Amino acid sequence: MRNHLLAYDVDCGPCRRFKEIVDFMDPKERIAFLSLNEADDLGLLERVPRPKRHTSFHLIFSDGGVKSGAEAIPSVIRLFPMGVLFSKGLLAPGGRRMVAGVYSIFSRLHDSGSCRYQSALAARRAGQSERFGALPFGPSSLTGQP
């Protein structure tokens, strides 16, 4: 059962590849995916400052908690088979610096080319659009089943 959401930039090639890797590494299907725009429109990113909503991926927990970017990587890895062991190493001080460094490299890929345009467009859209009320967040909203 999918009990986490991963919101990512569907218009960004490196972001789509990241989503595909996460999906492949998640054979127990604990993570569902949606676009940053969908997550924002549904009110799932309310805890994320508006300027940061379209600059990285976000892992959204069933209790409404959100982790973003490099901070979320250990939590994503923990959801994979054997990921608990690997993620403990990433939570160590040196591991956090390593994750932040690697993530910053991939983040720069997101900010290049068409992704930069799409991010700017999404940020403008987020600042001008009206919110649709937040939908209930729970297992049924993730699986699509009542």
Which of 60-69, 99-108, 129-138 comes out lowest in average pLDDT?
Answer: 129-138
Q: How far apart are CA 8 and CA 136, in angstroms?
A: 20
Q: Is 34:144 a contact under the CB 8 Å cutoff?
A: no
Q: Where are the domains of the chain?
A: 4-129
pTM of the model: 0.68
pLDDT value of residue 15: 85
Q: What are 27-68's pLDDT values in tens digits?
A: 999 999 999 999 999 999 999 998 888 888 999 999 999 999
Mean residue pLDDT across the chain:
75
Alpha-carbon distances of 78 from 12, 24, 26, 127, 133, rounded to whole Å: 25, 14, 10, 33, 31
Q: 80 or 97: which carries more pLDDT confidence?
A: 80
Mean pLDDT over 119-140 rounds to 45
Q: By the 8 A CB rule, do 11 and 110 touch?
A: no
